[in-house]
Structure formats: C-alpha cells, structure tokens
Structure 1
Amino acid sequence: MDVAKTFEEFVGNLAVSNRSEISGRYKRITKTLNKKYYDNESEILHSLQVGSYGRGTAIDGLSDLDMVFELPWDIYSRFNKYDGNGQSALLQEVKEEIKKTYPKTDVKGDGQVVVVSFRNYVVEVLPSFKNDDGSYKYPDSNDGGSWKTTKPRDEINEIDKLNKDSNGNLKNLCKMVRSWRNKVGAPMGGLLIDTLCYKFLEEKSEYKYRSFVYYDWYVRDFFEYLGSQKKDQEFWYAPGSKQKVYKKGNFIAKAKRAHKKCKEAIEKEKNKTVNDIWKDVFGRAFPASEKSVEKSESSIYTYKNTEEFIEDQYNIDVRYELVIDCNVSQHGFRTEVLSIMLEKGFGLRVNKSLQFYVKKCNVPEPYTIKWKVRNVGSEAERKDQIRGEISVDGGAKSKKEKTSFRGGHFVECYAVRNGVCVARDRIDVPISTT
C-alpha cells in the first residue's frame, strides 16, 4: 500500500459534497434576518457559521449545521424586560421570521436555538448579541429562561491556528476521527472530537510536521491516546474558549479496538488487501484494496448476496450512544449474557436461542430502531442464508435469532432520527465450528 497516496485520497473522500446547497441556505436565512432586524438584505453580515462546519472539520453526511446570528442590542433590551420567559419569546419571533422564507419547512424554537429542518439535515440558528470581547450572549428558554454566553470565535480561531501550524494535519485528523466514529458508533460530539484531536497534536508535536507518509502511525497513536482517556472523566476544555465539552457516552473501548486494528494494518502494510482492515476502522470512505478478494470468490457454493448497508439508506452522523447486548438461552440451561461470554473467551454452539436487545440508548425521541443480521461461513453459504438485510424494529427494541449456522456472524443496530443515522452498535456472534 502507498500510505501517502491512500490516506490523501481518504481525506479527499471525506469532503462535504453539498457545500453549495448549504451555503445557499445559510445565506437565505441570513438575508431574511438582516431584512427584519437591520433593514438590509445582506447574505453575509451579522452571520457566523459555527459548529463542525464553521471550524472546517465536518465531513460529508453531517446532519447538524450551526449558525450564530448577531442581533442589535436594543432587541436584547426589549426581550430582557419581559415579565415571563423573554428568551422563549425571542426564539419564537426569530422562528416566525424564518418561517416566512420557508413556509413549508418545519421550523421551531427549541431550548436555545431555532431549528430549521430540511430533508437530510437541520440548520440550528442561535440568535445572539455580540459582546465587546467577541463572545455572544444568547437566550436559553429552559427553566423559566436565562441568558448564557458562548465563545465560538475563540474555538474557530484556535483550531485554525494549530491547523496552520501543523500543515493541515489537525483538521485532517478531526475528519478521519469523525469517519471512524460514524463507522463504529462511538458517541462523540464534533467539538469533543476536535478538542481531543487538538490536545493530542499539542502533546505529540512531532506529527505537526509529518506528511501523509506517516498517517498510518498518526492515526494509530491517536487511537492509543483516545483509548487511554480516564473512564470517569466527564468533560474536557475546548481549545480557545476553555468551555466545558461533555462526553455523550463511552468511546474508550471502541478506541482501543481501533488502535489494535491500526497496528494490524501497519504490520500487514505489504498485503494487497490491507485496505480492508483500514476500512474496518474508517468505513466506506477509505479507498478499497488494490485487489480486494470477495469471500464469494473463494466459496464453492452459489448464494445470493442480499446484504444491505445503512450508508446506502441514510446519512451517517453519529451523535449519541447506542449499546446492544444479547441473552443466550437453551432449554434446560440458565440464560447467559453474550457480552460477558465473549469477555471470558467463550463461543456459542448451535441451537441456542438469542434475544438481542437495546441495552442503552440516549437518542432523543422520536427515533426508529433498525436491525441487521449477517450470517458468515460455508454452512450459511451452502444453505443460501447469508442474509444481511436491514429491517425495522417491531417496537420492542429487540430481535430474536437462533444459532443455526456454524461460523462467524454479527448483528448491527441503528437509531435513525430525522432521516439520519445518529447512533449505531455492533456485536459479533462467534458460533463454534466444532
């Protein structure tokens, strides 16, 4: 594998593909609010793109776009005088104004922002008032209403500074880690990813000046760093703003698995199918192997490949934690938990009953659960039962199966919200061949 060429192509594959559409909607919302509050029709003034997109660390398929709109201070004075929840009233006024531009689009005030929901992503507009130090005062309508402060410019400037000092390596790492997150379902928000990538590059300053030739070592060492974070640590301080960035779930175990796979890929660098290992880490955006050998080519059986992929059905932008597990039972034996069996190194035998279930999910309602069961191995091929279709959960957030075929198998679960896959998990089901 040509490491430099492959990783450069990988980063290129992560570029946001609908920038023109996104830019047009930012401009249209900006123009609408400028006309209301400043009596002009500028598409640029008083507007700031923030979040992952604004920091330049977003990848294709992102579901949330964030913008700050700076309002005149006399608007703050008007709503601050409200006897009731002036913050909520401000959000409603901004919502109604945007609704005039997008009358057929779902627009609502939600806590601190006005959410404009398009087909496959939302724009979250933060009405705010710019302070002399560059920070913003913004409304929070929760718990009776209050004013809070945020410093997105400080975060953007600090990320930009280190990215420039590292020859673009910071933002490239942020994007690659997002691709990993979406592949394995690691519950990490965009600002937390950017914060930890920033801190890693500060500590491992030798990577500031490395080229794509060293990117395999770069990501290997990052996942080692990520997997070494304290399990009980709840927040980190964002670069620039120093504001607390909270974690959304446990990502350490998945980071350790990624580190292990990175080491395996580096050891097999000369193997023509080594990119298949990297794809297990980073997902579909990673370039395919020079000669990727399909399992079906080496099979003596003819079977239908019915496998479906969630990436073909939805944008993937993992934001939340989803954990699945499985109860293993057989008549006359006590029920055991699959994750505990796997930790102890136990495999499964045939004729076991499996009850997969959602153990944990912090995705806000409403959302839809979907399942995928993939059978692997010669016995499943012989019986033409490879499967791999994606099905909708029946409402119980669980799925029943049996250990019918010997070999390796896996089950994946997805949480889909507003047309985007925002959480996912996978559990491997090794069924004894003896």
Structure 2
Amino acid sequence: MTKELFEQFRKNLAVKNSDAISKSYRQTTSKLNEKYYELDSEISNCRQVGSYGRRTAVHGVSDLDMAFILPWEVYDRFNKYENNKQSALLAEIRLILKEKFPNRDVKAQQQVVSIDFTDYIVEVLPAFLNEDGSYTYPDANDGGQWRTCNPISEIDETNSLNQLKNHNLKRLCKMIRAWKNDHGVPMKGMLIDTLCYQFLKGTTDYDTKSYSAYGEMTKDFFAYLVDIDQEKEQWRAPGSGSIVTKSGNFHPKAKKALRRLQEALDDPEVAHERWSAVFGENFPEYVEEEKRQAIARNEIKNLEQFIGQKFSLDIHYNLEIDCTVKNEGDQLRNLMSRIGLYKIPKQRELTFYVKHINVPPPFKLYWKVRNVGPEAIRRNMLRGQIQMDSGYHQITEHSDFQGEHYVECFAVKENICVARGRIVVPI
C-alpha cells in the first residue's frame, strides 16, 4: 500500500496548469525580445528560475520566477543615470510589459517586475549574463545597487543530486511543500529545497530506494529537521552558495510531524491516517468502509472544500487560532495542555478567534469547520465548507456531537493563501 499511496501523492502534487504558465512565460518573453533584441522569439533569452525552474514546485504555486537576459548595452545606458539607475530600469520594463498586458496589474518591485495573472504571479528578473554564468541584476532598495546571483547553478546542482538519489530529491521537496502548505509552516521554498538537498546529500540510505521507502525517508527527514539547532538562521543554497534564511520557527510543527510519521511506521493500522494528517489534502484519500457504504447509498454528501482548490498557496506567515469554551474557564489549547485527555462537553458555546497573525494588511480571512467521525456520518453532517470571515476575526460554533473535529483559519492576500492555522476540537 505504501508504494501506491506515495506514487499517487506525487501525481497529486504535480502542477496542473503548466500550459497556462508556459503561455504566460512565452508572451512575456516575446514582448521583451521584441523590444530589446528586435527578435521574434518566445523562448530566447528567458530562463525559468525559482522553484518552478528547479522543478520542485507543486500545484498551486503562486510566484513564478523568470530571468530575462538583457544586452549589456542596456546596463551601460542605465548606469549613466545619476539617481536610482536600478529603479529606472525596472520602470522601463514595467511600461513595456504593461503595454503587452494592459488589463493586468503590472508592478515594479525592488528587484523584479511582477505580472498578476490572477491564479499566479510571474516575476521577471532583468538580468545581465556574466562570463561565469552568474547574473547581474538591479536592486532598487536603499537608493539602488547592482547585485549578483546564480540561479542556474542552483538548478544544475539540484538536478545533479536528484539524479544521484534516484529522483528522490525533487519528490521530497514537493512532499515537504505539501506539509508546509497544509500546516501553515513559515518556510520559503528555497529553504525547503536547501534542507532537503543537505539531508539527502548526507545519507546513502535512499540512493536506490523509491516510493515504497517514502514512509521511512520522510520520517528520517523530519528527524533531521528537528535536530537542527533552533538558533540557526542561515544556510547556503546548493550550487550558488547564496545565503538562505528562515522566516519563522519550524521546529514545533516538525516535531509533531515526526511523531505522526513514526506512529505510521509502528502501526500499519493507523499509517494512512497519520500520513494524511502530515501531508494534508493532496495525500490520497482512504475512505472508511462505513463512509463508503453511506456514500454508495447516497445517504450522505461530503461537502468538504480545500483551500488549495480555491486559492494558490504560498505559506510564509504565521497564523494561530484558539478557542474560548463557555463555562470552562480557560482557552481550549490551555485545557488540552493542562488536562491530558480533555474533551469538550456537549452543548458548549465555542468561540474560535485569531490569537496571532503577522500577515501585513490588507488580507482576507476564511474559516473552515470540519466534522468527522461515525456520528458525523450517521447525522449526515460531514461539514468542511470554507466561508469568509464576517470581519471580526472570529466565529462561533457549538459542541453538538462527539468526534475529533477541527477548525482552520486562512489568510488570503492578493488571491494567495499566505498563512493558515488549525486547532483540533475534541468533543
């Protein structure tokens, strides 16, 4: 079963709108080639970079990076400017692309020009190719300066180790993205790819293994993650050696994932449930027999919705929710921490609220209340719809029936889910 589940999991994570993405890249490239080279080409002078270029992105990827190689004469022209040369270059490219996409939001932003295609954003990095294969690019911050990067060496090194490790590197990167997106872990894609690279580079255990060993491989990766010094803030990217920083503390959620993955290995009876808990909505569903029969009899409808089907996912902010249990005298998280097997009594009023969020405004909040378990099936109450917040950053529910329910909250900014929080609701 392990092999089939993880193989399907990998397929579920594949980027499904690649044709639309490729069209956006081609249109952008064609316009810039026409302007700077008088060339009719949709592919010349363009390189896909970032997670999409490294082929470690998953479906729902929101930021798509491309480098467009400009002639050095353009650098010479802008370098003669007295004031912010880099800002002027970005402004020129913005005007060119706005002409191509008049109905799109096109912005010049610090180092890139972004084009909002609604379901994703293409970020164009204007680049000048150096002899060593690195790029010189503009940074408009703090009065402007020229910087260098080498994303192609990152792609090449990722590809190289991926081949040596039987294609397991990129698959591991994608699985960890699924965990990050499902649990709201503040980790950027480059950090995920860097840590997966370092983990597999440091072991030979999975050099010839494949899907049937992914239960063990993911468990070992999370053990590696948990062992990282919590004070460590920087790593070096594969290939380029560029500094990669962390944007939040991933240790607590990594510890929880490690515990669940170990339980999956120790007890085959709970393996699927634990893997689903770690990897989320893209992990293949296993329908319990009772639920399968009820669905077959058309007695229930599964109304669950998933945030990744409504918005692109790019989790890199923190969002924590808690719950006030009326007449219990404390918050739900404190009650569960203080009382080992605490269960909420029936007929209690529950107020779920945002306890902490660091997403810069403006953003929108959405809530999901999920009922699960045999009683939810019998009562035809398998809820799970996603609803917009009323404006008060809280929702009120009632503990009507027994089960291991949960509530989630999502922060959506510019059509991208950038933070999510979850709390288990044991009744």
Same fold (TM over 0.5): yes
CA distance in 2, matches of 1:182, 1:266: 23
CA gap 1:411/1:327 in 2 versus in 1, 3 angstroms: closer
For structure 1, the residue ranges without an aligned partner over 5 or more in a row are none
Q: Per the alignment, in what secondary structure is the counterpart of residue 206 of structure 2? A: helix
| Cα distance per residue 1:50-108 (max 9 Å; x no partner) | 00010111112211110011112222222223232222111111011111221211111
Percent identity between the two aligned chains:
45
- AA at the equivalent of 1:205: T
CA gap 1:183/1:316 in 2 versus in 1, 3 angstroms: farther
CA gap 1:256/1:360 in 2 versus in 1, 3 angstroms: same
Q: Per the alignment, in what secondary structure is the counterpart of residue 216 of structure 1? A: helix
Identify which range, 374-383 or 339-348, moves more after superposition: 374-383
Q: Aligned residue for 1:89? A: 88
Q: Aligned residue for 2:420? A: 424
Alpha-carbon contact 2:156-2:239 (below 8 Å) kept: yes
CA gap 1:178/1:303 in 2 versus in 1, 3 angstroms: same
**TM superposition shift of 1:194:** 0.4
CA distance in 2, matches of 1:176, 1:384: 32
Q: Per the alignment, in what secondary structure is the counterpart of residue 172 of structure 1? A: helix
Alpha-carbon contact 1:306-1:389 (below 8 Å) kept: no
Identify which range, 112-121 or 183-192, moves more after superposition: 183-192
CA distance in 2, matches of 1:255, 1:322: 15
Out of 337, 340, 343, the position equivalent to 2:334 is 340
- AA at the equivalent of 1:288: E
Matches of residues 120-199 of structure 1 in structure 2 within 5 Å?
120-199=119-198
Q: Aligned residue for 1:267? A: 266
Out of 290, 313, 319, the position equivalent to 1:317 is 313
Is residue 2:29 matched to residue 1:33?
no
Matches of residues 224-303 of structure 1 in structure 2 within 5 Å?
224-269=223-268, 271=269, 274-289=271-286, 292-295=288-291
Q: Per the alignment, in what secondary structure is the counterpart of residue 314 of structure 2? A: coil
Alpha-carbon contact 1:188-1:318 (below 8 Å) kept: no
CA distance in 2, matches of 1:285, 1:172: 14
Q: Aligned residue for 2:408? A: 412
| Cα distance per residue 1:98-148 (max 9 Å; x no partner) | 112212111111121111100200100011222222222211222222222
Identify which range, 201-210 or 121-130, moves more after superposition: 201-210
| Cα distance per residue 1:38-59 (max 9 Å; x no partner) | 1212222221110001011111
Identify which range, 356-365 or 122-131, moves more after superposition: 356-365
Q: Aligned residue for 1:308? A: 304
TM value normalised by structure 2: 0.90
Q: Aligned residue for 1:46? A: 45
- AA at the equivalent of 2:104: T
**TM superposition shift of 1:375:** 3.8
| Cα distance per residue 1:225-247 (max 9 Å; x no partner) | 12232223222211111112122
Alpha-carbon contact 1:185-1:318 (below 8 Å) kept: no
CA distance in 2, matches of 1:327, 1:15: 36
Out of 361, 369, 379, the position equivalent to 1:373 is 369
Alpha-carbon contact 1:16-1:61 (below 8 Å) kept: yes
Q: Aligned residue for 1:395? A: 391
CA distance in 2, matches of 1:411, 1:34: 49
Q: Aligned residue for 1:101? A: 100
CA gap 1:168/1:347 in 2 versus in 1, 3 angstroms: same
- AA at the equivalent of 1:42: S
| Cα distance per residue 1:240-296 (max 9 Å; x no partner) | 111121222222222222222222222333x4x74343222223333333x633558
Q: Per the alignment, in what secondary structure is the counterpart of residue 25 of structure 2? A: helix
Alpha-carbon contact 2:319-2:356 (below 8 Å) kept: yes
Matched residue count:
423
CA distance in 2, matches of 1:377, 1:48: 49
CA gap 1:14/1:313 in 2 versus in 1, 3 angstroms: closer
TM value normalised by structure 1: 0.89
Aligned CA RMSD, in angstroms, stands at: 2.6
- AA at the equivalent of 1:308: E
CA distance in 2, matches of 1:56, 1:65: 11
CA distance in 1, matches of 2:292, 2:209: 39
Q: Per the alignment, in what secondary structure is the counterpart of residue 230 of structure 2? A: coil
Alpha-carbon contact 1:105-1:116 (below 8 Å) kept: yes
CA gap 1:265/1:421 in 2 versus in 1, 3 angstroms: same
For structure 2, the residue ranges without an aligned partner over 5 or more in a row are none
CA gap 1:296/1:396 in 2 versus in 1, 3 angstroms: farther
CA distance in 1, matches of 2:375, 2:4: 39
Q: Per the alignment, in what secondary structure is the counterpart of residue 207 of structure 1? A: coil
- AA at the equivalent of 1:338: L
**TM superposition shift of 1:353:** 4.4
Q: Aligned residue for 1:201? A: 200
CA distance in 1, matches of 2:290, 2:374: 14
Alpha-carbon contact 2:315-2:420 (below 8 Å) kept: no
CA gap 1:295/1:321 in 2 versus in 1, 3 angstroms: farther
Q: Per the alignment, in what secondary structure is the counterpart of residue 363 of structure 1? A: coil
Is residue 2:74 matched to residue 1:72?
no
CA distance in 1, matches of 2:409, 2:163: 39
